Amino acid sequence: MEDLKKIYIQGLIPRVESLKTQLEELKNDFKSSEESIRRLSHSLYGSGATYGFPRISEAARKTEVAPDNDLESSLQDLLNILQDTIDEYEKAPQSLLIIDDDPDIVLILKFQLARLFDRIVVAETFENAQNIIKNKDFSLILLDLILPDKDGREILIEMRKNSLMKRVPIIVMSSLTDFKHKQECYALGADGYIQKPFDPEDVSLMVQSTLDRYSPGKDSVFQGDSDTQILNESELKEFFQKTRALMQRTRNHAAFANVAVDDLVTLRQHFGRDIETKVILKAQAVISEHLRESDYLFRHNNGSFSILFPDTTLDDASLILERILFYIREGSKDDIRFFMSAGLIDLGDIPEFQQAVNRTLALLNQAIDEGGNRVVINTRSQSLKNRILLAEDDRLMANIIIHNLKKAGFEVDYFSDGALALEGAEQGEYALMIMDIKMPVIDGFELLRQVRMLPGKTHTPVLILTSMGNEDDIVRGFDAGADDYLLKPFSPKELVARINRILRGL
């Protein structure tokens, strides 16, 4: 049941972020936000008590059925309870497993590390350790290489194969002094190597730094003198959602990047965790120095970084990253030589945080596969660049437009009224949309307004093509989010030229 509780609590984090976003949007778009809030509350009402959290179910039910004028206060109460539950889980007691058959060593370790752990468990053999691990979770493991029943390196291999043990930090202790044994342990997945006999203070420092590295959201150790704001993961998600909401309202650009040291695993395997940490800290310092005060930086547990660039075009963010990579290259010439790569996207077409992380990670991997030391930018496929949505109720006019666009090399999806065009916009990805104003079911102004509310369509260019040419109509079109406004009758060559001009600016 405890494992199920952990999974449930981890699943609460994105729900909290979504509810916070809806709370902010409640004043701007009550109907849409209200529906989302009540839907999420209903889901929490059905699951909270099932997993042993009746307070969540009770607060969720109150929010789900709250009158409109009480919805905001009820939601705030629910958010407080959800956050308290998450915080309580994240402050779970720290526990240590010592796998060592020397009672004197164990006694020293227990005395020295008692202040860092709420619970310390000892196993004298690997068999004992296996039985203990089946029933208990641990924050960290200290592993002796020489045990009565198994070589510690074989134990390390078995532990790293176990899905439950992959993310548990393991520090190896050994009297073996040659470098090849230390290197082998790092290659097999060790997070640290302590040589016996050891200084108890050195052990304490290594254990503390390892816990800090693996602790969720624990990043204060990496914060330098820079004004760059360094976030934990929850804060990063919150700023991501706020940036997305601002983009919806202002249509400003924003960019998101994943940056990592090339071949970091190789560095660790050859030189150990100490050098790896030194490299990451140096990368952190260079990145922080060259970001702006408005940018946000987060360091992941694996040593990579995410950067959020609010109110920044893709080109401007790319220049910042290229500058960072240049100073990484130049600054490491006289020290440990290393390089970095980055994956960069525009957030205009990425509505969800995890989707943005996955996309930038894929681009980062592409950069590394291509040799590293570079920035790979998200670019639209050629088919998307050529694909246009056309909303026009006049079939003859539509045929003229389609003929000329296809002649210019574009693919066109045609819709004869606003409702069908909205459905097409929801389901498809387009380089540009052309809209008439006077259409049945939904007119062009309302279609444009609803398109701008769709996930991923904030920055899709829209050209209004209409016979409505008075000043108020034109202003209304641009206020609704149009990128261009062309009056009928029109020149097909001018239409194609305007489309090409807009697409060149993306």
pLDDT digits (tens, 9 = 90+) for 167-226: 688 999 988 877 677 767 777 778 788 888 888 888 888 888 777 656 544 433 333 334
Three-class secondary structure of residue 476 per DSSP: helix
Residue 266 corresponds to which tokens in the numbers above?
């190789």
Could you give the angle at which helices 2-25 and 353-369 cross, rounded to 10 degrees? 110
426 near 391, Cβ under 8 Å?
no
256 near 309, Cβ under 8 Å?
yes
Rounded distance between C-alpha atoms, residue 169 and residue 180, angstroms: 21
In the chain, which stretches have pLDDT less than 70?
1-7, 50-51, 89-92, 163-164, 166-167, 179, 183, 212-233, 248-251, 332-335, 349, 379-385, 456, 505-506
The CA dihedral of 480, 454, 250, 24, to the nearest 10 degrees, is 120
Q: What is residue 23's predicted lDDT score, i.e. its pLDDT? A: 87
Q: What's the burial of 321, exposed, middle or buried (CB within 10 Å: 0-12/13-18/19+)?
A: buried
Q: What residue type is assigned to position 296 of the chain?
A: Y
268 near 280, Cβ under 8 Å?
no
Residue 169 corresponds to which tokens in the numbers above?
């930090």
Q: Which fold has domain 383-504?
A: Rossmann fold (3.40.50)
144 near 152, Cβ under 8 Å?
yes
H or E element, residue 387: strand 387-391
364 near 258, Cβ under 8 Å?
yes
Enumerate the β-bridge partners of residue 97: 121, 141
The CA dihedral of 41, 45, 47, 48, to the nearest 10 degrees, is 100
What Rg value do the Cα atoms of the chain yield, rounded? 28
Q: What is residue 357's predicted lDDT score, i.e. its pLDDT? A: 87
Number of H helices, E strands in the chain: 20, 16
Rounded distance between C-alpha atoms, residue 55 and residue 48, angstroms: 8
H or E element, residue 271: helix 264-271
Three-class secondary structure of residue 142 per DSSP: strand
Residue 481 corresponds to which tokens in the numbers above?
């989010």
Rounded distance between C-alpha atoms, residue 486 and residue 480, angstroms: 15
C-alpha neighbours within 13 Å on the C-beta side of residue 456: 14
User: Where do the domains of the chain lie?
Assistant: 2-90, 95-214, 222-379, 383-504
Residue 49 corresponds to which tokens in the numbers above?
């008590």
95-214 and 383-504 share one fold: yes
Three-class secondary structure of residue 377 per DSSP: strand
DSSP for 245-308?
A: HHHHHH----EEEEEEETTHHHHHHHH-HHHHHHHHHHHHHHHHHHS-TT-EEEE-TTS-EEEE
Enumerate the β-bridge partners of residue 258: 306, 343
Q: In the CATH scheme, what architecture does the domain 222-379 have? A: 2-Layer Sandwich (3.30)
Could you give the angle at which helices 471-480 and 444-451 cross, rounded to 10 degrees? 20
Report DSSP state, residue 151.
B
Beta strands (DSSP E) in 418-503 are: 432-435, 462-466, 484-487
Q: Which fold has domain 95-214?
A: Rossmann fold (3.40.50)
Residue 295 corresponds to which tokens in the numbers above?
């940018």
Which residue is listed with tokens 């052990």?
A: 203
Enumerate the β-bridge partners of residue 122: 98
pLDDT tens digit sequence for 321-377: 988 988 888 776 666 778 899 999 988 767 788 888 888 988 998 888 888 888 888
Q: What is residue 342's predicted lDDT score, i.e. its pLDDT? A: 93
Q: What residue type is assigned to position 469 of the chain?
A: G
